[in-house]
Structure 1
Amino acid sequence: MSLLHRLSWPCLIAALVAVAGSAAAGDVETRYQEHCAACHGETRLGGVGPALLPENLERLRKPEALNVIRDGRVATQMPGFADKLNADELRQLAEWIYTPVVPAPVWGEKEIRGSHVVDAAAARLPARPGRGLKGADPLNLFIVVETGDHHISVLDGDKLERLHRFPSRYALHGGPKFSPDGRFVYFASRDGWISKFDLYNLVVVAEVRAGLNTRNAAVSSDGKWVLVANYLPHSLVVLDAADLSLARIIPTWNAAGNKTSRVSAVYDAAPRKSFVVALKDVPEAWELSYDPAAEPVAEGLVHDFQYKEGAFKPGMFHPRRTLLTDYLDDFFFTQSYDEILGSSRSATKGQVIFLDGRKKVAELDLPGMPHLGSGITWKWKDPAGRERTVMASPNLNAGLVTVIDLETYETVKQIPTLGPGFFLRSHENSRYAFTDSMMSKENRNVLQVIDKQSLEVVAQIRAEPGQTLAHVEFTRDGRYALASLWEMEGALLVIDARNLREVKRIPARKPVGKYNVWNKISRSEGTSH
Structure 2
Amino acid sequence: MQKMTLKIPYLAAISLFPAMTTAWASDPTPVTAPVATPPAPDASALYQTHCAACHSDDRFGMMGPALLPENLERLKRKDAAATIRDGRVATQMPAFADQLSEADINALVDFIYTPPAKPPLWTDQDITASRVVNADALKLPAKPVFSADPKNLFVVVEAGDHHVSVLDGDKLEPIHRFASRYALHGGPKFTADGRFVYFASRDGWITKYDLWNLTVVAEVRAGINTRNLAVSSDGKWVMVGNYLPKTLVLLDAKDLALKRVYDVKDEAGTLSRVSAVYDAAPRQSFVVALKDVPQIWEISYDPKAEPIYKGYVHDYKMGEGVAAPGPFTPRVTVLDTTLDDFYFDPSYNRVLGASRDGKAEVIDLRVRRKIADLDLGGMPHLGSGITFDYQGHPVMATTDLKAAKVTVIDMQDWKKVADIPVNGTGFFLRSHDKTPYMWVDSMMDPKFRDTLQIIDKTTLKVVGSVTPAPGKTSAHVEFTRDGKYALVSLSEKDGAIVVYDAATFKEVKRLPMVKPVGKYNVWNKTTRDRGTSH
- TM-score when normalising by structure 2: 0.80
Q: 1:44 to 1:262 in 2, by over 3 A?
A: farther
Q: Distance in 1 between matches of 2:350 and 2:517?
A: 29
Which amino acid is the alignment partner of residue 210 of structure 1?
A: A
Q: 1:368 to 1:146 in 2, by over 3 A?
A: same
Q: Distance in 1 between matches of 2:52 and 2:406?
A: 37
The match for 1:10 is none
In the alignment, which of 353, 377, 386 is matched to residue 387 of structure 2? 377
The match for 1:352 is 362
Which amino acid is the alignment partner of residue 335 of structure 2?
A: L
The match for 2:468 is 463
Which amino acid is the alignment partner of residue 376 of structure 1?
A: I
Q: 1:396 to 1:42 in 2, by over 3 A?
A: farther
Q: Distance in 2 between matches of 1:38 and 1:327?
A: 39
The match for 1:19 is none
The match for 1:123 is 138
Question: Does the 8 Å CA contact 1:250/1:303 hold for their aligned counterparts?
Answer: no
Q: Distance in 1 between matches of 2:489 and 2:56?
A: 28
The match for 1:310 is none
Q: 1:199 to 1:336 in 2, by over 3 A?
A: same
The structural deviation recorded for 1:297 is 3.4
Q: Distance in 2 between matches of 1:49 and 1:240?
A: 25
Aligned pairs for 1:124-273 (under 5 A) are: 124-130=139-145, 133=146, 135-256=147-268, 258-273=269-284
In the alignment, which of 332, 336, 343 is matched to residue 343 of structure 2? 332
In the alignment, which of 411, 420, 433 is matched to residue 415 of structure 1? 420
Q: Secondary structure of the residue that 1:439 maps to in structure 2?
A: coil
Unaligned runs of 5+ in 1: 1-21, 61-67, 70-91, 305-312, 382-386
Which amino acid is the alignment partner of residue 391 of structure 1?
A: M
Deviations 1:24-47 (A, max 9, x none): 997676798999999998756588
The match for 2:69 is 52
Q: 1:49 to 1:524 in 2, by over 3 A?
A: farther
Deviations 1:58-102 (A, max 9, x none): xx9xxxxxxx99xxxxxxxxxxxxxxxxxxxxxx99998996523
The match for 1:102 is 117
Q: Distance in 2 between matches of 1:202 and 1:251?
A: 35
Deviations 1:251-309 (A, max 9, x none): 101133x21111010000000000100011111111110011112334463359xxxxx
Q: Distance in 1 between matches of 2:334 and 2:162?
A: 39
Q: Which moved more, 1:289-298 or 1:226-235?
A: 289-298
The match for 1:274 is 285
Q: 1:184 to 1:455 in 2, by over 3 A?
A: same
Question: Does the 8 Å CA contact 1:300/1:318 hold for their aligned counterparts?
Answer: no
The structural deviation recorded for 1:346 is 1.5
Q: Distance in 1 between matches of 2:264 and 2:395?
A: 33
Q: Distance in 2 between matches of 1:33 and 1:468?
A: 37
The match for 1:114 is 129
Which amino acid is the alignment partner of residue 207 of structure 1?
A: E
Deviations 1:475-497 (A, max 9, x none): 00000010000000100010000
The match for 1:15 is none
Unaligned runs of 5+ in 2: 1-36, 78-106, 317-323
Q: Distance in 2 between matches of 1:49 and 1:398?
A: 33
The match for 1:75 is none
Question: Is the counterpart of residue 294 in structure 1 residue 278 in structure 2?
Answer: no
Which amino acid is the alignment partner of residue 195 of structure 2?
A: R
Question: Does the 8 Å CA contact 1:226/1:241 hold for their aligned counterparts?
Answer: yes
Which amino acid is the alignment partner of residue 509 of structure 2?
A: K
Question: Does the 8 Å CA contact 1:301/1:318 hold for their aligned counterparts?
Answer: yes
Which amino acid is the alignment partner of residue 441 of structure 1?
A: P
Paired residues in the alignment total: 458
Runs of 4+ in 1 over 3 A off after TM superposition: 24-51, 92-100, 297-301
The structural deviation recorded for 1:354 is 0.7
Question: Does the 8 Å CA contact 1:251/1:303 hold for their aligned counterparts?
Answer: no
- TM-score when normalising by structure 1: 0.81
The match for 1:323 is 334
Q: Secondary structure of the residue that 2:151 maps to in structure 1?
A: helix
The match for 2:10 is none
Q: Secondary structure of the residue that 1:105 maps to in structure 2?
A: coil
Q: Secondary structure of the residue that 1:332 maps to in structure 2?
A: strand
Question: Does the 8 Å CA contact 2:300/2:328 hold for their aligned counterparts?
Answer: yes
Question: Does the 8 Å CA contact 2:69/2:115 hold for their aligned counterparts?
Answer: no
Q: 1:270 to 1:511 in 2, by over 3 A?
A: same
Q: Pick 1 or 2: higher relative contact order, CA cutoff 8 A, min separation 6.
A: 1
Which amino acid is the alignment partner of residue 141 of structure 2?
A: P
